[in-house]
Amino acid sequence: MNRPTTDTRTPRREKILICDELSSEAVDALRARGFEPQVRLGMKEDELCEAARDAQALLVRSATKITARVIRSAPALTVVGRAGVGVDNVDVDAATAQGVVVMNAPAGNTTTTAELAIALLMALARNVVRADRCVHSGEWKRRGALLGSEITGKTLGVVGLGRIGRAVAQRGRGLDMNVLAHDPYLRGAKSPVEGVELASLDELLERSDFVTLHVPYDASTRHLISRERIARMKSGARLINCARGGLVDETALAEALASGHLRGAALDVFEQEPPPADHPLLAREDVIVTPHLGASSEEAQRNVALEIAAQVSDFLIEGVARNAVNLPPVSSHTLAQIAPYVLLAEKLGSYLAQALERPLATLELSLSGEIARAENGHVKLALLVGALRQGCDTPLNFVNAPKLAAERGLTLVERADEAPQYLHSLVKVRAVDRAGNSALIAGSVFGREPRIVRIDEHHLDLAPRGVVLTTRHDDQPGVVGALGAVLGAHGVNIQRIELGPGASADDRLARGFLALYDTPSAACLEALARIPALRALRVIHL
């Protein structure tokens, strides 16, 4: 990245608060643009709320949490910059509602994370870590017990072909490995990496000697490598996870290693970090564990720090938002006006992506009322972001959402709609998946609060946040009581219930929409499924 030229004009008045340790070169880059950043490290939430009160920009890595309370305490705040990819430590919804742009630095750690995955693969193949321990402990004659494997000619399975997955696949090909890859959004398409064969997840697991994970963590990918999928893996295979904790059922993995079904594993991430001292994988010699080092290289930390410093500077000086995860490049005035509709559209897209079984093929968007007359291009982009976020490990923002939608075969169509008779604005979306199934959802904004007002043929009133349990059940007495009894027995509190009859006189299946305070456990869902009148249920995370 080129260093910015020195700005000799009057020093800028915007306050930039750096909350986590960044490269000194990034601080110098901000100063070269006329800023005088303040560095305050290790602040608790109360201290951060006070320090951010007059800040226009906050720069963080992963340690500092930018909560809704912090955002509300900073009325002058316009941008939060995250030096890295994930923004789990930033309340993006709260930032969006307040008109604050959240940026990340997506490109800086691709190479570093990909190289760590390859390093762990090599270490597993040749028992490097076990051999090192032996020599350090004074043992030398264990070469037979440390017999390794060549990787040349072996099959590498790459789960997820985003930026990092593609980099790993390319390096696997360079090591003369046969590379399989699975990405649900590339089904039927040509592989973006030359020489890499696309396959279903089950086929990849059955054929691969090494499996490496490069997908995001969300409700749909939790325990993606489940007990059942581990059983499908090739006997003697090895598993590598440098992506996100929670993708692997760690208990099932420990059992597969103990039984000899799998030959080894390397984990840079855990479902609970740090893992407890009695974690079953920590005591195993055939498991390599590292403390979340995916982005921990000198080059990556320098690159992401310089990247975010340049982006925040450009936004404060020119109003240009690059790599914004929540908002397009618009003026602060417009942003404040349309922010609730942006949040609403993203939630509608997220609902539809989770409500349908297959990846989405078409989104039909209808806007009416005031929002139809406003600068609504941001609403369209937000809808795409929400729909694409499920199962997408590529850093997703309003700039790259149209390109990613095109790559995944998702088309956005705008439909004309009459102004609603009872609402001043309405955002309505009909989705069709690749199997031809469809779903419809609509929402509006009351004051500045987004609400879902329609799902398919059912008119309702739901806040688009948290956990929503949807049901199809026999239209008969006692169903709501049975649902409440099971949820209550598992400690899940119901926030709101909306019910509706079948779509027609011939449809005897009613619909239920239950806003919950907590996510039901697997045991709870199994108990719900045993309710005789229940025909289908689905958990939607908004």
What span, in angstroms and rounded, lies between the C-alpha atoms of 261 and 33?
57
Token pair for 355: 């409500």
Q: How far is CA 401 from CA 186, 404, 410, 435, 453, in A?
A: 16, 5, 10, 23, 26
Question: What is the rounded distance in angstroms from the CA atom of residue 282 to the CA atom of residue 253?
Answer: 12
* 8 Å CB contact between 242 and 212: yes
As a whole number of angstroms, the distance between CA 297 and CA 304 comes to 11
Listed in sequence order, the residues at least 6 apart from 104 whose beta carbon sits closer than 8 Å to its beta carbon are 81, 82, 84, 85, 86, 87, 308, 323, 325, 395, 397
Distance CA 102, CA 327 (A): 8
| Site of tokens 């990340």 | 104
Backbone angles phi, psi at 304, to 5 degrees: -70, -35
Tokens of 333: 């005035």
Question: CA quadruple 415, 329, 333, 39: dihedral positive or negative?
Answer: positive
Active site residue 126: no
The C-alpha atoms of residue 440 and residue 211 are separated, in whole angstroms, by 38
The gap between the terminal CA atoms of the chain, to the nearest Å, is: 37
Residue type at 255? E
Is 292 known to be catalytic? yes
Q: Write the CB contacts of 119 (distance below 8 Å, at least 6 apart in sequence).
A: none
Q: Enumerate residues 6+ apart whose C-beta is below 8 A from 360.
A: 352, 353, 387, 410, 431, 432, 433, 434
The set of residues, in sequence order, having a beta carbon less than 8 Å from that of 120 and lying 6+ positions away, is 240, 242, 266, 268, 288, 290
Which residue in the list 13, 150, 194, 273 is annotated as catalytic? 273
Among residues 40, 72, 187, 292, the one annotated as catalytic is: 292
Beta-carbon count within 10 A of 231 CB? 11
Asked if 196 contacts 181 with a C-beta cutoff of 8 angstroms, the reply is yes
244 is an active site residue: yes
DSSP assignment of 190-248, as one string?
PPSSTTPEE--HHHHHHH-SEEEE----STTTTTSB-HHHHHHSPTTEEEEE-S-TTSB
- Cα angle value 500/501/502 (rounded, 5°): 125
The structure tokens listed for 409 are 């075969």
**CB proximity list for 488: less than 8 A, separation 6 or greater:** none
Q: Name the catalytic one among 244, 279, 451, 511.
A: 244
90, β-bridge pairs: 66
The residues assigned a catalytic role are 244, 273, 292
